[in-house]
Amino acid sequence: MNMHSDRKHILAAGGIAVGLALLFVLFASLYTLDQTEQAVVLQFGKPVGNPITTPGLHVKLPFIQEVRIFEKRLLAWDGDPNQIPTRGREFISIDTTARWRIVNALQFLKSVRDETGAQSRLDDIIDSVVRDMVSSTELIEIVRSGDWAVSNKDLERAEALPGAMDEDALVKEVEVGRNQLIRRIMEEASKDMPAKYGIELADVRIKRLNYITSVRKQVFNRMISERQRIAEQFRSEGQGEASRIRGETSRQLAEIRSEARREAEVIQGQADAEATRIYNDAFQQDPEFYAFSRTLESYAAVFGQGTTLVLDLESDFLQYLQDIDPDAAP
């Protein structure tokens, strides 16, 4: 009885072990793909079959096959800033970026193996194409778009920042332009890329464009010198205008003072004449009183403290003094 019970327990345990083994094999044989993923099945490290791009549940041979999963979405590439001379020998620092996707996972795995290898290969390809394109293009073609119309505001900004913007370059007709240059870079970099690497470039952009540090300092110094020259010119013109205004003010002030003195003399002369006329009219009414008044005024002017006069007693100057009655009341 006990032996029969032990046999049942052994069979039950064996069944559980087999079930677990089957379940493990089943899980090892299944894998799922998301809508944003694609996969390549490897058997002993070598690809087997075509890439799997359909999302859902898939089956593989357990233990001898493995699955390498790759992205189907757009991936970003950011290059390092490069110092490149343009066609006109202006050294600029240019920073580019791109968006790419894996369109053939099998070729991608064979050529670059993973995203790190793809980034390295894109560094070589895009940087080389950008260098070739920029070095054969004028700076104004890289900066401006072909359909950009120059406005009066742009010209005013160029005049306000001498040394930084060239007015002649602004009005110069653009043959290529930045957009066309980017399209050429993308076309050149995309050549044979899907067939060789299983990669497709979706977009290439110039993220940042500037003079290199040494040239930038020269541009800034030239801008500073130009602004200082303009400021000095404004100061010189202001000083000249101030001197002219001061001279004109002094001249006008002298004219006003001269005219005021002339008018004052005319008014004073007219007043003196009027006073004389009034005196004459008044004294003509009583000539004797006029003579007496004028004589008294002359006495006041002549006689003073310490004054000595020697006159004839019959002098007319003393006639009113001779007529004074000493006994009369003062």
* Alpha-carbon distance values, 184 to 85, 126, 162, 191, 238 (Å): 18, 11, 32, 11, 53
Q: How do residues 269-324 score in pLDDT, each as one tens digit?
A: 999 888 888 878 877 777 777 777 777 777 777 776 677 767 666 666 666 666 65
Parts of the chain belonging to CATH 3.30.479.30: 75-211
Higher-pLDDT residue of 230 and 152 is 230
All residues at 6 or more sequence positions from 119 whose CB lies less than 8 Å from its CB, including other chains: 77
Write out the two tokens for 247.
Answer: 């001279």
As a CATH number, domain 75-211 is 3.30.479.30
pLDDT at 164: 47
User: CA 93 to CA 135: how far, in whole Å?
Assistant: 12
Q: Output 300-308 pairs: Cβ under 8 A, ≥24 positions apart.
A: none
- The partner residues of 31 in beta bridges, in order of sequence, read 58
State what percent of residues in the chain have pLDDT above 70. 79
Specify whether the CB–CB gap between 54 and 18 falls below 8 A.
no
Specify whether the CB–CB gap between 90 and 212 falls below 8 A.
no
In terms of pTM, does the model score above 0.75? no
Q: How do residues 53-80 score in pLDDT, each as one tens digit?
A: 999 999 999 889 999 999 999 999 999 9
